[in-house]
Amino acid sequence: MAAGFFISKSVGIVAIVLGLGAVATIIALSVVYAQEKNKGTGPGNAETTTAASSTTTASTTTAASNTTAASTTTAASSTTATANNPWNRWRLPTTLMPESYEVTLQPFLTPDANNMYIFRGNSSVVFVCKEATNLILIHSNKLNYTMQGSFLVSLEAVDGSGAPHISQTWLESPTQYLVVQLDGQLQKGQRYRLFSIFTGELADDLAGFYRSEYMDESGKTKVVATTQMQAADARKAFPCFDEPAMKANFTVTLIHPSDHKAISNMPVSSTQQMMGNSGWNITTFQTTPKMSTYLLAFIVSQFDYVENTSEKVLIRIWGRPKAIAEGQGSYALKVTGPILTFFEMNYDMPYPLPKSDQVGLPDFNAGAMENWGLVTYRENSLLFDNAYSSIGNKERVVTVIAHELAHQWFGNLVTLQWWNDLWLNEGFASYVEYLGADSAESSWNIKDLMVLNEVYRVMATDALATSHPLSFREEEINTPAQISEVFDSISYSKGASVLRMLSDFLTEDVFREGLQTYIKTFAYGNTKYTDLWQHLQQAVEKNNVTLPRSISDIMDTWTLQMGFPVVTVNTLNGTISQKHFLLDPNSKVDRPSPFDYVWIVPVTWMTNKAMGDRYWLTKVSDTNDAFKMDSTSWLLVNLNVSGYFRVNYNQENWDRLLAQLSTNHQVIPVINRAQIIDDAFNLARAKYINVTLALSTTRFLSRETEYMPWEAALDSLQYFQLMFDRSEVFGVMTKYIQQQVTPLFNHYKNSTGNWSIIPEGLMDQYNEINAISTACSYGIAECQNLATDYYLRWRQNVNNNPIPPNLRSSIYCSIVATGGEEAWNFIWDRFRAATVVSEADKLRTALSCSREPWILNRYLQYTLDPKKIRKQDATATINSIASNVVGQSLAWDFIRGNWKTLFSQYGGGSFSFSRLILSVTQRFSTEFELQQLQQFKEDNQDVGFGSGTRALEQALERTRANINWVNENKQTVLAWFQEETATPTP
């Protein structure tokens, strides 16, 4: 018998399917499961577990017990619910602490007689009693239990002494507990074992132990059993103490079809054929180190892999056999070793496990998940095909791999105590992913992209009065939906931005030194964010780094209050001041701040004559004589945007910076050319400067060929597009953008030999994409003709796509936008036939570029059909349609009409609801749209908004701000564009 099966003196060996009576058991239990799944188990119709229940019985093979009745139940509490009961609270009591689990699971990869996919399992958990108690609470969600005598579980003391008898067991569904009441006390310091047998649905809901499907080359549907436990779904796979601080060792056994492979966090310990049934194998894995439940993973599939070894660590990249055979795992395999080596040096600690499996899944809700030793990904975040994938796909793969591998130490080895500090886990990985990716692709200068991808992207949200601090109080985050809501851009991108700022003012070496002692001190344990501050402070003192205050004092101003400052410098008198930056200056900030919205700000600066020393702004305002400039000098603050703040100047300094851009823009560092544009547009939205000053920062772009300034401008002008593409302003705005982008389009047309040569660097390739995308979407005839020519050549031979991979997203969109129904159907057919997921993503997104309302409405309906659009892609597809001016109102109507369906299909905890709400409301700028949004909120209070709750409040705030901004600026903007396009600029 394989190790990992629980052997109990009282219950015997309860194998899942060992022996000849097994098939009857499975059939009976799946029937029961189907019945029970549809049965209400709330307090109104509670079954107590001490009552006889009329469930189907099935024989279960046991070694030391004559019991043959195995009734399955989803019993719920018969106790009146009151908030005072421990099982009505969301957090586990600290009376019990798990030490080890033995979990055995058997997924069935074909539907049963009720057309359901199920899995069966048993689990034993050994826990130590920290404080005498007569109650065991353990998480359980959507599992049906096989009765052991009269109870859902059995209990024994580990050392053979007596354990209290169970008096009652039930499932408390609202708080997702299995409750065990005892007739006596568990003794402090004593270890106990809790054993359960259960059945669950292997659903396609992308959570817990779930089912993913794909078609093989012959058109046959293949089923994969896989997992996604973060944040609170391990309890859907087996009963467990499902909180990150409840670390334990796990021994996993999978019973799987013998023609399938089984993998888990650790290497295989043993595999054997099932006794009496050659169709099944029993695979047991080595016991894990001490770890959190949310990092557990196991997969049963017919995937293939490519492998190599890096410093004694086995690396395997898994995926669909066809994808692996085509070499789509090669790039991930090439970069994983160097990235692991980089992080081993960065943390000064070897990779903690013997192997690193990385798996590309056809269906996956997040981008990737850092399960320890078994990282799971969406296919487009792991697999790369040179013939189909763009440079953007390549960057996505290397940065996501680096993000997840960073977690193997920071997050997995050392884990945050509770989800209120999620920002440190995800913010850290979002920062160092750029360092890890840079180690694998050193020619890309990828670290510079943090400013665009993280800093500026999150500032748009963090400048709202409805934003939130990085760190919540622990008691603010309790329910699974509240936990999911914390997985937002503030945690990821603001977390990354402030850690980058911290590393910059400490220096990377000092930051790394503090990080290394932190990791070593807390390995296999749990921490709070303040623990990292203490270790960084020790490194500061050891290296004699001069700071105005302690790291804790400085960083608390960035983590315990929301938002960020705008730093204003007056070069006439040298004054410098700060103020909480709000996009809507009329918005009311209800959330109090312990620092009254004052930050301790590290200020880097230069002039056209010299570089300055770092200056610290520690109060609301101050004076620094070094900031006084004469009439021939300009001041530039926040070099390379290392600080998380915006910068405003007196008009004279703005004028000198604009003059510098118009005469020789390259004197100003490239990141700061982007900064000038991005800060100016946001300052204009917040009424700090005139909107015409912001627009003037784009004049020099007709001579600019660098990616970052162009990307900052296009991002900033996108707000103008969203506000005005339904009004007369957009006509002249289009003329202006055509005027500015034509030189860039011609630059790349010439330098690439008429689009036949790929530019060298990452940034250059990205700006070529910008040139094509902007020229085509703003109607430059030469670009649209290029797209049409590509389309006609492709139609002549559908198996030979002539469009370069980098340009496909832009060209596909142009084809759909200008080609009517015929082009849409052609691209749809290519999407249905696509075997490379990055190619399918480009085609799927391009289908939303149609200008035909009926086509877009039909496409919206397709998102409700998983046979047409995968569940994982549904919300992204709706978002794409909403970004199209023709599709925006259609998407909004669709969301309002189908909210209940979408919410029930994806569950309130799905991460995608916040993005969905923000996308469909991003153009809202009228009182009528505000009323509709308020009505939507009222109409769906009963359904709720799950992880989109805060996003809905932010959408309301954004809409109010948009209304005011359009009313105040429309005529000024119209006049500026008219003036700029009336006479060509010299």
**Three-state secondary-structure class, residue 780:** coil
Q: Are strands 96-107 and 249-257 parallel, antiparallel or unpaired?
A: parallel
Q: Is the dihedral of CA 543, 548, 550, 551 positive or negative?
A: negative
Tell the burial category of 713 from Cβ atoms under 10 Å away from its Cβ (0-12, 13-18, 19+): buried
From residue 718, how far is each of 373, 730, 740, 743 by CA, in Å? 41, 11, 15, 20
User: Residues 6 or more apart from 873 whose CB is under 8 A from it?
Assistant: 841, 844
**What would the 3-class secondary structure string for 659-703 be?**
HHHHHHHHHCCHHHHHHHHHHHHHHHHCCCCCHHHHHHCCHHHHH
**Three-state secondary-structure class, residue 37:** helix
Q: How far apart are the first and last CA of the chain?
A: 84
Q: Are strands 208-215 and 166-172 parallel, antiparallel or unpaired?
A: unpaired
- What is the arrangement of strands in the sheet containing 261-264, beginning at the earlier edge strand? 208-215, 221-228, 298-301, 261-264
DSSP 8-state assignment for residue 259: T
Q: How far apart are CA 184 and CA 134, in angstroms?
A: 6
From residue 22, how far is each of 16, 69, 114 by CA, in Å? 8, 13, 18
User: Residues 6 or more apart from 954 whose CB is under 8 A from it?
Assistant: 461, 464, 466, 467, 918
- Contact status, residue 175 vs residue 29, Cβ threshold 8 Å: no
Q: Tokens representing 427?
A: 């913010």
User: Residues 6 or more apart from 952 whose CB is under 8 A from it?
Assistant: 917, 933, 937, 945
Q: Tokens representing 380?
A: 């487009």
Q: How far apart are CA 475 and CA 472, in angstroms?
A: 8
Q: Left, alpha or beta for 784 (phi > 0: left; psi -120 to 50: alpha)? A: alpha
- Contact status, residue 90 vs residue 175, Cβ threshold 8 Å: yes
- Helix/strand/coil percentages in the chain, nearest 5: 45, 20, 35
Amino acid at 22: A
Name the catalytic one among 243, 404, 433, 485: 404
DSSP 8-state assignment for residue 274: E
Radius of gyration, alpha carbons of the chain: 30
Residue with tokens 């096989």: 146
User: Residues 6 or more apart from 52 whose CB is under 8 A from it?
Assistant: none
How many residues are recorded in the chain? Answer: 986
Q: How far apart are CA 638 and CA 640, in angstroms?
A: 6
Main-chain dihedrals φ then ψ at residue 224, nearest 5 degrees: -115, 135
Alpha-helical regions (H) of 834-926: 837-846, 853-862, 871-883, 888-906, 912-920
Is residue 980 part of the annotated active site? The answer reads: no
**Three-state secondary-structure class, residue 816:** helix
Main-chain dihedrals φ then ψ at residue 236, nearest 5 degrees: -85, -15
- Contact status, residue 647 vs residue 638, Cβ threshold 8 Å: yes
**Three-state secondary-structure class, residue 196:** strand
Q: Tokens representing 549?
A: 């205050």
**Active-site residue numbers?**
404
